[in-house]
Chain A
Amino acid sequence: MADFAPARSLAAVLGGWLLFIALETTIQVVFKIAGAELDPDLGLAAMVRHAATTPIVLLGFALYFCGFLVWITLLKDLDLGRGFPMTAVVYIATFTAAILLFHERPNATRIVGVLVIMAGVVLLASDENSPRKGAGEAGKEEVDG
């Protein structure tokens, strides 16, 4: 937590992450239901028209935008390569939802694969923020050019 700006209290940071995880998990579940409504066989125009008038699809997009706003406030203080993997907690919740809500039955290979992914993600997220080249200026100049 030492990487967060000191002005933000621990409670605010934890609260932000809890809100983010709950919101993102809900988004995945809503998307799973809404995505089945998208049928490309209808043709693009008809599919977009159908999507734009289907409440669950619109709810999914509204939640997605809320997730973006919460994420921006969290990302502000983190390295991308390290902060982004912290969002992987969402995948544990989503994997659980797949089993409990959608009655999927993952085989052994899939479970091992998920464990290997999680090991990698934990390793990524527990890494320290890296020193920026030239205190963060080098990368910026390169991109600006």
Chain B
Amino acid sequence: MTPLVWSLFGLTVTLDVFGQTAFKLGLDRIGDGPAGLDFWRGVATSPWVLAGLGGYCVEAVSWMYVIGHSPLSVVGPMAALSYVGAVLTGRLFLGETPRPRRWLAAGLVTLGAGLVGASLG
């Protein structure tokens, strides 16, 4: 994998975490009340959801390049690093209070991703 592919992989994970966090922030603001068309109207007019969608668009191009130029069995599982980012942003921006078990899980994902990356030798 070239430095360009690794850089775009980092960009993809970062944008994924940003997008997911923005979606959740947007959905939290829409709340449980609206259903059906009202819910989707809320989604389509939520600045957070739209910002996340913007990030998603850039991420899609970046990820398509990464996945097309590297082994799927490497970058596929390594994309799980996004979950580690989501635990962090959940804690920092969404008011989620992860228990030690969730931090341990995030550590395992990071360790596993390191092993998968190292498997390229």
Contacts and interface: CB of A to CB of B under 8 A. Distances in A.
Contact of A139 (B65, B67, B68, B95): B95
A79 B8 CA distance: 27
A130 interface: yes
A130 B112 contact: no
B contacts with A: majority SS: helix
Given A28-B72, A113-B115, A123-B101, A136 B80 contact: no
Contacts, number: 206
Contacts of A64: 56, 60
Contacts of B76: 28, 91, 94-95, 98
Nearest to A108: B119
A109 to B, nearest CB: 4
Contact count band on B: 35 or more
A37 B4 CA distance: 16
A104 B27 CA distance: 39
Given A31-B68, A94-B76, A140-B95, A116 B101 contact: no
B102 interface: yes
A70 to B, nearest CB: 12
Interface centre among A68, A81, A123, A133 (most CB of B within 10 A): A81
Contacts of A85: 80, 83, 86, 105
B96 A35 contact: no
Contacts of A139: 93-96
Given A31-B64, A127-B105, A140-B28, 19 more contacts: A28-B67, A35-B63, A35-B64, A35-B65, A51-B61, A61-B60, A76-B27, A79-B94, A81-B91, A84-B86, A85-B86, A91-B77, A95-B72, A114-B73, A120-B83, A121-B105, A123-B108, A127-B101, A139-B95
6 contacts: A5-B32, A28-B72, A94-B72, A116-B112, A117-B116, A134-B95
